[in-house]
Amino acid sequence: MPLTVWKEKLNRSIPIPLYYQLKQCIREDIETGYYHIGDVLPTETELCSELVLSRPTIRQSLMELTKEGYLERVKGKGTYVSRPKLEANFIQKLESFHAQMLALGVQPMTKVIRLEIVPAIPAVNAALNIPDSEELVLLIRLCFGDNSPIALMESYLPAKRFAGIVHEDLTNYSLYIIFAKSFHTTVTRVTRQIEAINASQREAEYLGIQKGKAICLVHNTAYDQDNIIAEYNIAYYRGERSKFTMELKQ
């Protein structure tokens, strides 16, 4: 039983905090496959009793593992082993979601929710730097990794330039591949803004999470080879499934 092993591993004579030692024990059992995704951990009461630890010590271990994406705590139900976070390097690299997932060893899939020409939206037209009256192409996609929803992506394109994209296969091909293949457009740079928000009912339903749960909101503006804006994109990433890496150099 893991509790017996954990108890034997806890060393009260060393300066390493007990919460950290317990955290390492739990993480090791998850990473080595003793616990699988969806398994339920012992309750706080069981952990306190069996390991002879205080409740604050137990909670700190579980909270840190939850923040790191190893666990998910559901009020009234318990603590579950969750799917590991997917590390996205797209902040530094100009790379499609499909390519990101493959690089992480995850099988990607895209479901097109909407693909149509819509009337102008003043704020979006301004973001695309096009006239207020110009129509838009709206593309909404739900992106999966290993059959689990990871991100909801909402893209806006100038209809005057990309109206024909509504006839393209955006389930099996990335938007930027279609840009290059059918519209002689190469995206050369993207600006991104990232913030944390709480999921609305709409995002929660698409991403399979509870309303109000923390998610990552990313605003993307893509520029082509002539430094003209080709796409304005709003992406909603599941917070507990994603982490973003940035490297700063002087």
Indicate whether 53 and 131 sit together in one domain: no
What's the pTM?
0.65
55-84 per-position pLDDT tens digit? 999 999 998 888 777 888 877 788 888 765
Indicate whether 225 and 111 sit together in one domain: yes
97 vs 131, which has greater pLDDT? 131
Is 250 among the domain residues?
no
HSE-CB at 159 with a 13 A cutoff on CA atoms is 19
Residues 207 and 149 sit within 8 Å (Cβ to Cβ): yes
Q: Report whether pLDDT(206) > 90.
A: yes
> Which single residue is written with the structure tokens 């005057």?
160
Query: How far is Cα 65 from Cα 88, in angstroms, rounded to an integer?
Result: 19
Indicate whether 70 and 92 sit together in one domain: no
Range of the domain at 210: 86-244
In this prediction, residues 24-46 reach a mean pLDDT of: 87
In this prediction, residues 160-165 reach a mean pLDDT of: 97
Query: How far is Cα 98 from Cα 118, in angstroms, rounded to an integer?
Result: 26
State the pLDDT confidence band at 33, using cuts at 50, 70 and 90. Answer: confident
Select from 81, 96, 127 the last residue of a domain. Answer: 81
State the pLDDT confidence band at 116, using cuts at 50, 70 and 90. Answer: very high
Is 124 among the domain residues?
yes
Domain at 208, CATH number: 3.40.1410.10
* Strand 86-88 relative to strand 242-244, pairing: parallel
Number of domains in the chain: 2
Q: Above pLDDT 70, what percent of the chain? A: 85
Residues 138 and 150 sit within 8 Å (Cβ to Cβ): no
Q: What is the pLDDT of residue 233?
A: 96
Q: For the residues of 165-198, what is the DSSP string, one character each?
A: GGGS-TTTS-HHHHHHHHH---EEEEEEEEEEEE
> What tokens appear for 155 in the block?
């893209």
Q: For the residues of 115-175, what is the DSSP string, one character each?
A: EEEE---HHHHHHHT--TT--EEEEEEEEEETTEEEEEEEEEEEHHHHGGGGGS-TTTS-H
Indicate whether 66 and 125 sit together in one domain: no
